[in-house]
Structures are given as C-alpha cells and as structure tokens.
Structure 1
Amino acid sequence: MNNQVTRQFILLYEMAIIRMLFSFLNNPRVIEKLAESRPIRRAAQIAAFAIIKAQIAGRSATATVLKSDTLRQLRQEANDRIPRDVGDIGTRFRRVRETFVKEVKDGFRDAQGQIKK
C-alpha cells in the first residue's frame, strides 16, 4: 500500500514538473532567447548540414543507379522476347548477375580510391 502511494506521488510530481516545463517553453520570449543561444544555433547548423549532405548523397546515388549497366540490361531483358525455355531464362539471369557483380567490384574499387585520397 505504501509503495503504491509513493509511486502515485512520484507520478504526480513528474507530471507537475512536465507541466511547468511546457508552460515555460510556451513563452515566446523564452523560445526567442533559446533560438538566439549558441548551442541551439549550432544544433540547427548541424541539422541543416546533415540534411543537405543526405540530399546530395541521394541525388548521387540516384544518378549512379540510372547510369547502371545492370538497370539498363534489366530493362532490355524485360523488353526482349519472352524466354522459350528454362535454359534461356538461366542465360539471361547469368548475364544480369555478371553485370551486377562487375558493377559492385567497380564500385568497391572507386570507394577504395576515394578513401586513399
């Protein structure tokens, strides 16, 4: 019984602190002062930098995929005639796999070259 009362008291105490914090943060002057503070400005700069880097990386990855020989080959295989037998399907998959493996190896070589720079 005593343990349950203590838990309820702690919960009410925590809720009161949270309410005070929210009422404090709801004040426009406090928000303005926080926005002008050096740590908040730095955090905003870091967040903006991370977003821009992610956008650049996404565009670069998209461009790489669109230039990909594997993607071109998959499109070509999809537009070609319907395979007549299992051997034909196996041949197509083998060609696509070989192209994919070649591109992965080239990508690793490029990445290693960039790391060495």
Structure 2
Amino acid sequence: MVLRRLLLAMLNDHRLLDRLAEARPIRAAARLTAAALTRGLRLRNNFLRELKEEAARAKDAWPNQRRGNEKGRGP
C-alpha cells in the first residue's frame, strides 16, 4: 500500500518524468519498441495484401462457382 502511494507520487512528479524520459536506457527502450511496432505493422500489411491477392487468384481459378441453395444441384 505504501509502495503504491510512493510510485503514484513519483509518477505525478513532472520533473522526475522529464529526467527519466531523457535517460539513455529509457530512450533506447522507446526506440526498440517503436521499431518493433513498425516492423510488426509492416509485416501484417504485407501478409494481408498477399492473402487478398491469393484469394483473388483462387476465386478466378475456381470454375463455375455456385452460391447459396444452388450448391450441389445439377445443371
């Protein structure tokens, strides 16, 4: 309980937060986090684009597609 109050008091001190933000380890951690997020978003976007392209190719390659209740019926 006391530790929680101390942490909250420290986090509400703007001078302390500014000093922490300027610290080399905090900046390095922020840089790594930003790089990981950017790379993850780029990989996700590439995967989704390739998936859409593959789905479009599969749809175009599938002959005589039928939908709904017509599925399974003869001509």
TM-score over 0.5 for the pair: yes
Q: Which structure has more helix as a fraction of its residues?
A: 1
Of the three residues 60, 65, 72, the one matched with 2:51 is 65
Task: For residue 80 of structure 1, report the CA deviation from its aligned partner.
Answer: 2.4
1:84 aligned to 2:70? no
Greater RCO between the two (CA within 8 Å, min separation 6)?
1
Distance, in Å, in 2 between the alignment partners of 1:76 and 1:30 is 62
Per-residue displacement from partner, 1:44-88 (whole Å, max 9, x unpaired)? 0011001100111011101110110xx2334775x8233316xxx
**1:84 aligns to what SS in structure 2?**
coil
RMSD: 2.1
Distance, in Å, in 1 between the alignment partners of 2:22 and 2:59 is 53
1:53 aligned to 2:39? yes
Cα distance 1:27–1:76, how it changes in 2: closer, same or farther (>3 A)?
same
Paired residues, what number?
Answer: 68
- Residue 58 of structure 1 aligns with an amino acid whose one-letter code is R
Identity %: 29
Distance, in Å, in 1 between the alignment partners of 2:59 and 2:47 is 18
Distance, in Å, in 1 between the alignment partners of 2:49 and 2:7 is 47
Structure 1 runs not aligned, ≥5 long: 1-14, 86-117
**2:4 aligns to what SS in structure 1?**
helix
Runs of 4 or more, structure 1, over 6 Å off, are none
1:43 aligned to 2:22? no
Output the TM-score relative to the length of structure 2.
0.76
Output the TM-score relative to the length of structure 1.
0.51
